[in-house]
Amino acid sequence: MELDKKTTRNIIKIAITVVIVAFLLNHAVGFLAVFKKILGLLSPFFIGGAMAFIINVPMQAYEKRCFGRIKKKSLRRGIALVCAYLSILFVLLLVMGLVVPEIANTVRSLILELPARMKMVEDWLDELLKNSTELDDYFSNVLNNIEVYMMDFIKGWDVKKSGNILLTMTGAISGTVSIVVNFFMGLIFSIYLLSQKEKLAKQFGRLMAVVFKEPLCSRINHVLALGSDTFRRFITGQCLEAVIFGGIIFLSMTIFKMPYALTISVLIMLMSLIPIFGAFIGCISGAFLILFVSPLQAALFVVMFLVIQQLEGNLIYPHVVGNSVGLPSIWVFSAVILGGNLFGIIGMLVFIPITSVVYALLREWVIKKEKSSNGRTEC
């Protein structure tokens, strides 16, 4: 039986796809290494793009509401851009000014009180060991084993291990310098993006019009516009949720007369920008600060935080952030879990708006199919 041209083309396409997939799987390690290298080279552009997305939100607010009367567009844009960067810098400096000194004072107090605390622990152990011969023998064996391990470690120390540590330290310093350089390059790139965003959008639109046909070009523009609007609303909603949560923590700590109320509230507000799980980092830090003032109040703070977090996580967060990106609560939670498992903190921040875009596109596709089949249009 002879095959028609359409069937032959499909078979050829399938065969080529199978060969390409097999080749990629066979050389997966090499391709991953090349892919990581390319990502490393492009990291300043990714950082700059992410910064531009975030800075664009306050910049638009300044440009429309504060400096809208300035007729010259370039001047209005420049002033709004500077104010947006200064606003974020001011918030960061305010947080550091409130949090860092308190942490430093706590650590300083801990160092000063450490000898007295160690003496208390030593007296308690002496009293405990006097009444228990088995515990005395056990701790003696532990101390002897530690001494043996330390002696073996010192004897096994050689120049080669020193060189390895030196190489590790050099690599760490080099990595830190690379991060700083990439950050400042990304900062410069973000400034260029924001100052020339209309011009760049027009150039990109012309390029797409030449490369793609009109239906596909319109679809790409629709997806990009939907993604941009979703990211903007997500950033706004996330910041609003963080302010609400930090305010509730501050009010509760003030009512219960807990120490470091303002500092801990600001710290939790900042960490709450990380979806769902970030507030727990702030809770641990806050409990650490209170612990050296009063262990009882530290325990009370943890209990209070868990109660507030449950109310906020189930009532406020899904509605504030979920509604801001047009995403149901279960999708918000799923996006955070999936993004965190795949890419850590960055994945948590990025996957919610990405999932919202996918959800919106899927919803549009379902409605379109239902209309074409004269079905229900509700989704």
Distance CA 322, CA 268 (A): 20
DSSP for 168-197? HHHHHHHHHHHHHHHHHHHHHHHHHHHHTH
Sketch the domain layout of the chain as residue ranges: 1-194, 196-379
Higher local confidence (pLDDT), 375 or 101: 101
159, pLDDT greater than 70: no
Handedness of CA 312, 315, 318, 324 (dihedral sign): negative
Q: Is 376 left (phi over 0), alpha (psi -120 to 50) or beta?
A: beta
pLDDT, averaged across the chain: 76
Range with lowest mean pLDDT among 60-69, 89-98, 114-123, 128-137: 128-137
Q: Read off the pLDDT of each residue in 103-126 and give the average, rounded to a whole number.
A: 72
pTM of the model: 0.63
pLDDT band at 150 (very low <50, low <70, confident <90, very high): low
Q: What letters, b where the CB count within 10 A reaches 16 and e where it falls short, cover 329-363?
A: bebbbebbeebbeeeeeebbbbbbbbbbbebbeee
pLDDT in tens, 79-114: 989 999 998 888 888 877 777 777 777 777 767 776
